[in-house]
Each structure stands twice: as C-alpha cells, then as structure tokens.
Structure 1
Amino acid sequence: MAKATAEEVEVAGRTIRLTNPDRVYFPARGFTKRDVFSYYLSVSEGIMRALRDRPTTLERWPQGVIEGAKLATRQDNRGDAFYQKRVPKTAPDWLARAEIAFPSGRTADELCPADLAHVAWAAQLGTIVFHPWPVRKGDVEHPDELRIDLDPQPGTGFAEAVEAAGEVRALLAELGAVGWPKTSGGRGVHVYLRIQPRWTFTEVRRAVIAFGREVARRRPDLVTTAWWKEQRGEHVFLDYNQMARDRTIACAYSLRANQRATVSTPVAWEELPACDPDDFDLASVPPRLAQRGDPHAGIDDHPWDITPLLEWAERDEHGGDGDLPYPPDHPKMPGEPMRVQPSRARQPES
C-alpha cells in the first residue's frame, strides 16, 4: 500500500508538514484539506487580526465535513469532529499557549496564535473553525472584545438579523461607540467592539444584557433577550451569554463546518443590507480580502469604555430587571434567576 502523501510548507519561519493534502474536506464543493490550508494562509491579515494572542479553541474535522459526520458535544461525546481546548502533549515546543480557567475551575493550556504558523499548524490538524476567547494572553481575566451575537429564531432569517444589526449600530452611535459587523457564516450577524480590558467576564456579560434589553425595548417586535426558546417567538435573539466565560464565536475569516464552506466575513455597514452570507466562502473571500482590504482594519484603534452600559445595568436592576440565566454548564451564579424552563416551573399554589 502506498504511503499517504505529505507536503512541507514554510509558514512564518516554521516548517509545517501537511499530511493527506488531497483528502476531500467539503465534498459538495470538492474542496480538499490543501484548499483549507491554503485558504488560511491567503487570509493571513484578517485571521491574525482576529486571533493574535487570543486563547483559541479548535473545532477539528479531521475526516472533513462529510455527509453524516457530526460534532461531539458535552451531552454526546461520540462524534466525527470535536472541540480541542487543550494543546496536545505532542505539539511542538514553539507553539504559544495561554492558561485559561473554565467555569468549573479547571484550567487548560490553549493554543494562543502568535503568528500564521500557529494557524497553519491547527489547519494541518483538521481545524475548520477557530473559536478565540475575547481576551488576550497578557490578561485572560478581563475581556478586551465585546461580542453581540444576533441569532435569528424560527420564522426569521438573515434579513431580520441585518435589521436588528441596524438597531445595534444606531444605539452604539448614541453611546459614542463603533461596532464592527460580520456575517456569522450562517443566518446570523455578529457585531464586535474592542473595549478597555478593565472589567471581568461577569461585568461585560452584564453590560451586554443591559445593551440587549435596551435594543429590545426599542424594537420589541424584532429583538429579544429571552433565554428560553419557548419565550423568544419570531424574533432575533441577542445572545448575551456569548460573553459568559468559555463561550466563544467563530472568529472573523474562520470557515464554518457546513456544505458550502462559508466564511464568517467582516463587511462594511453600508454593504450589510445587500449581503447574501452564502456568497462568502472558501473560494470567494481570499480575492475579496486582497482586492478590498479588511473592513475590520480599524477595529483595534479606539477601545471603548463600557461604563454607560454598566450604569444601565444598575438602572435596570433597581427597576426589577436583574440577571438572566447562565448556560447550563456554569455553576449557579449570585443573583441568577432559576434555571428552569418557564413551562416546567412549579406554579405557586393559589
């Protein structure tokens, strides 16, 4: 039997051995492992702006995004693909790492990309999606990135997410802040802000809750912050828990594990309403970036002070709107309401 082929590629002064480069990773499009590897090299400017010095969870699909393949989850660890949160013991010594703490109190050394060789190394392992934490290696307890995740619920779609993003933009402008939009790679829209790394995860999450509530007050027909799906209706869910510890979003220029090989793509506000997220994929994004540059090029220029949002949170709490539920894997947090689906909650006796 012939040995599997391999190639050696120089990336940022390191030699990366690319094994099985002809393995088909996206059968519907015919994209191979080499195509994925080359994609990440070709978007170096954008992917490094998103990942540099950030602890990063790897979503690995070593056999490709093939029909019937599924991603292992906390509830079911049997899967063809999986999240890698710890750098393997066999990893090269030159890889930069950062120790992060999970809600359980356990810790792990995560990959912390210092240059493009780190991204190439991860792509060689079958990484399709990069999930960076909203912190930097120098201070892993204080986020420097605030993420607003606009997730369309059944009955809504990308158009509604775009409309909700317009409301987000308008409210940020009132606050003197600039948001940077990108497609999620699916039906959603993400808006990112760089913030001053002064606040804890708990405080930044609290700020996003206050922001989301204000958007929902202005557009109750469009946006909700309801954690329980049965309460969301046909709205766009502003997922405040994406700012909880150990919650991550596919970064800018990350591929997504779907049949089209779409990309979570930064866009200008002016072009967002006319976007079709399916137009941004492994083949189309590299020439777009080369021709137009990165719409997020200025994202690091003016870190924002979230104090106004924390003041809104205080106002809401005094008005009776306190904390909202955390994800189910988090320990019970002070001030958190019951983590019980409303339809299953025990009703008080009359």
Structure 2
Amino acid sequence: MASEAVILSVPGPHGVRQMRVSSPTRVLWPDSGITKLDLARYMVEVGAAFVGANGDRPISLQRFAEGIDGEQFFSKNPPKGAPDFVRAVPVVYPSGRSHPQLVIDEPAAAVWAVQMNTIVFHPWPSRAENTDNPDQLRIDLDPQPGTDFDDAIPAAIELRAVLAEVGLDAFVKTSGNRGLHVFAPIEPTREFLDVRHAVIAAARELERRMPREVTTAWWKEERGARIFIDFNQANRDRTMAGAYSPRAIAHAPVSCPIEWSELETVDPRLLTVLTVPARLASTGDPWQRMGEKPGTIDQLCGWWERDLANGLGELPFPPDFPKMPGEPPRVQPSRAKHPEQPSS
C-alpha cells in the first residue's frame, strides 16, 4: 500500500503555498536511499537559488516514474492538472514548430515538478519574454574517455580568460557528472545561431591555446583523450542540467555553482542532494549576481567571421536538426566516402 501523502509548506514570492507530495517514501536513488520526499524538501531548501538560476525560462522536466533506474521521459508543456501558478510560454523549436513550454517562477512550482516525478531540470538560456534571444552564453566542458573532472579544470580556467578578453564575466558550476559548465551573462540582442557561432569562436580560441587538452571535434573517433568543448549545447532547444538541479546518477549529485577560487579543490562527488542545502546556507549562492553585468558577443562574432574568412567554416549540428547552411556532411569521418587514390 502506498504511503500517505505529505503536505509541505513552501515559501515564495506570493506567500507560503501548501504543496502535496504523494508516495513520499518512494526511493528515487536506491544507492543513497533518497526518497521523493527528500527531493521535495531539497527543492524547498534551495528554492530561492534554484529559481534565481532557472526561473523565468522555458524549462524541460526529465521525469522518472520509478526512480533513476526506471523509465524516463521529458515534459515540455504543462501536463493536465498543473497548478494555476505554473505558466507556459510559446517557443519555436528547430523544426519551426511552435509549442508552449513550462516556466518555473517560484519554489512551489519546482516542488510540484517533483510531485510529477521530475529529477532533472533543463532550462533554456533565454528568458520567457524573449525566448529567441539567449541572455546566457553556455559552454559545456565534457571529459572524454581517458580524462576526468580534474582535466576539465585547467580548460575552464583558460576559458574564463578567453571570455574575459572579449568582455564577458564567466561563472562556473559542476555538471553533476564529470564535467564543468561555464556560463556568461549576455545582452539578449542576438538569436541562437549567432550565440552558437560565438561559442564556436571561443571554443576554437581555447583549442588553439590548449591543443593537447581540448577539442572541438564533433565525432568521438577524432576527440582522443581530451576535453570536448560541446558547442552544440548552444543550439535552440538544447539544454543542460540547470544550476542546483539534481542528476539521475547513483549518488544523487547536483549541478552546483561554485566560486572560481574553489575550482581546483572542490570534489564534485560531495555536492549532492543531501549536502548542497547546508553548503548554500553557509556559503551563499555563487551565482546570485550573475545577471548584473551582461556583456555582448560582438567580439566573439567578429572572431567567428575572421575564422570563416580563414577557411574555418560551420561545424556539424545535432542529427535531429534540419540541414543548415554551410554545414559539413553528417557522416563520421571513418565512414565517409573518399575519392579513389591514383595508383602509384
């Protein structure tokens, strides 16, 4: 028999809301024994920082009906029965289709998402009132086989320097897995393709400075034991786990904002659903002031044009995107057909 529901009091900008959590003893992370109620309480404890980082943005919910080892699916539009304070905004997907997408505006909405079996939250880099123009430049530093979190650290530090050179103030968080996410607030004046090109320009500059350590190679067979700079996370409808979002990994890690001064000593395995609330209460939110000084991507776009003139063109898009202008063939190099070589 399922356990009785629990009612949580969730403070927010419109007062305290009473939020129902059914099946509170359902275990979501078997290795850690963390339950649905534990996750709901986590969202209450980190609620203000979570909404500060992920609120007022289209968001996708990664839902697990039976915990992290069960089936999962993504919700983008509000399901039936959503509270009246949970809103949606229309967004345009790469196909050109438009559809309403969820927006979280207060901690109670995040607790409601947990009630709907959400574990991972994936916010867009644009605001609800201007979904076509990102206000964040995001770069995912993804360790490849043979590398780990420690290898991503010097790449993140050098990337920060690259962004500073073009007037951007970088912020960093753990991915919740093995990598790092570097964000920079930008003025929402350019659309997604421009931001993608800005990310590629920054990635190529980082690759020039650290050719043995990082790569922009889209095909895994070409990456080697290097940190992949995942430029395709900058595309429309491409998201990564939000700040303070849990991850569906055995020890219940969190994608956690950190100070740059912590980067070389932090252990991301210790940043979990069980530990992050106390950390946040004692140290504060490293991303609290992120949006105060947005920069522009004008100089990065200039770098893109410079590289384009020097023969460095477009890079592959995700496979579900329509074929894009200037894009190279979507076939891995080892399977590409090459002209027959003349016999000697």
Q: Secondary structure at the match of 1:182?
A: strand
Structure 2: gaps spanning 5 or more residues:
none
Paired residues for 1:194-273 under 5 Å = 194-273=185-264
Q: Which residue of 2 aligns with 1:74?
A: none
Q: Secondary structure at the match of 1:295?
A: coil
Q: Report how many residues are paired.
A: 337
Alignment counterpart, residue 51 of structure 2, candidates 39, 48, 61: 48
Q: Which residue of 1 aligns with 2:181?
A: 190
Q: Secondary structure at the match of 1:317?
A: helix
Q: TM-score, structure 1 length as denominator?
A: 0.94
Structure 2 vs 1, CA of residues 328 and 3 (structure 1 numbering), >3 Å: closer, same or farther? Answer: closer
Paired residues for 1:158-169 under 5 Å = 158-169=149-160
2:173–2:255 Cα contact (<8 Å) kept: yes
* 1:344 corresponds to 2:335: yes
Alignment counterpart, residue 86 of structure 1, candidates 73, 77, 81: 77
Structure 2 vs 1, CA of residues 3 and 321 (structure 1 numbering), >3 Å: closer, same or farther? Answer: closer
Alignment counterpart, residue 103 of structure 1, candidates 84, 94, 112: 94
User: What is the CA–CA distance in structure 1 between the aligned matches of 2:271 and 2:28, rounded to whole Å?
Assistant: 18
Q: Given residue 330 of structure 2, which amino acid in structure 1 is its aligned partner? A: R
* 1:328 corresponds to 2:285: no
Alignment counterpart, residue 128 of structure 2, candidates 128, 131, 137: 137
User: What is the CA–CA distance in structure 1 between the aligned matches of 2:324 and 2:302, rounded to whole Å?
Assistant: 20
Structure 1: gaps spanning 5 or more residues:
70-79
Q: Given residue 197 of structure 1, which amino acid in structure 2 is its aligned partner? A: P
User: What is the CA–CA distance in structure 2 between the aligned matches of 1:336 and 1:104, rounded to whole Å?
Assistant: 16
* 1:60 corresponds to 2:63: yes
User: What is the CA–CA distance in structure 1 between the aligned matches of 2:85 and 2:283, rounded to whole Å?
Assistant: 33
Q: Which residue of 2 aligns with 1:284?
A: 275
Q: Given residue 54 of structure 2, which amino acid in structure 1 is its aligned partner? A: L
User: What is the CA–CA distance in structure 2 between the aligned matches of 1:3 and 1:53, rounded to whole Å?
Assistant: 35
Q: Which residue of 2 aligns with 1:31?
A: 34
User: What is the CA–CA distance in structure 1 between the aligned matches of 2:191 and 2:339, rounded to whole Å?
Assistant: 36
Q: Secondary structure at the match of 2:6?
A: strand
User: What is the CA–CA distance in structure 2 between the aligned matches of 1:7 and 1:223, rounded to whole Å?
Assistant: 48
The CA deviation at 1:184 is: 0.4
Q: Which residue of 2 aligns with 1:147?
A: 138
What percent of counterpart residues are identical? 48
Q: Secondary structure at the match of 1:185?
A: coil
The CA deviation at 1:157 is: 0.5
* 1:301 corresponds to 2:300: no
User: What is the CA–CA distance in structure 1 between the aligned matches of 2:32 and 2:3, rounded to whole Å?
Assistant: 23
Q: Secondary structure at the match of 2:9?
A: strand
2:57–2:124 Cα contact (<8 Å) kept: yes
The CA deviation at 1:123 is: 0.9
Q: Which residue of 1 aligns with 2:8?
A: 9
User: What is the CA–CA distance in structure 2 between the aligned matches of 1:94 and 1:266, rounded to whole Å?
Assistant: 27
Q: Secondary structure at the match of 2:160?
A: helix
Deviations 1:194-220 (A, max 9, x none): 100001100000000011000000110
Alignment counterpart, residue 172 of structure 1, candidates 160, 163, 169: 163
Q: Secondary structure at the match of 1:312?
A: helix
2:127–2:134 Cα contact (<8 Å) kept: yes
Alignment counterpart, residue 305 of structure 2, candidates 307, 310, 314: 314
Deviations 1:94-132 (A, max 9, x none): 311111121112222211011111111101111111000
Q: Which residue of 2 aligns with 1:75?
A: none
The CA deviation at 1:89 is: 2.8
User: What is the CA–CA distance in structure 1 between the aligned matches of 2:262 and 2:85, rounded to whole Å?
Assistant: 40
User: What is the CA–CA distance in structure 2 between the aligned matches of 1:89 and 1:99, rounded to whole Å?
Assistant: 17
The CA deviation at 1:349 is: 3.0
User: What is the CA–CA distance in structure 2 between the aligned matches of 1:201 and 1:240, rounded to whole Å?
Assistant: 12
The CA deviation at 1:3 is: 5.7
The CA deviation at 1:298 is: 1.3
User: What is the CA–CA distance in structure 2 between the aligned matches of 1:301 and 1:94, rounded to whole Å?
Assistant: 27
Q: Which residue of 2 aligns with 1:123?
A: 114
Q: Given residue 318 of structure 1, which amino acid in structure 2 is its aligned partner? A: A
* CA RMSD of superposed structures (Å): 1.2
Q: Given residue 38 of structure 1, which amino acid in structure 2 is its aligned partner? A: R
Which is further off, 338-347 or 106-115? Answer: 106-115
2:163–2:202 Cα contact (<8 Å) kept: no
Q: TM-score, structure 2 length as denominator?
A: 0.95
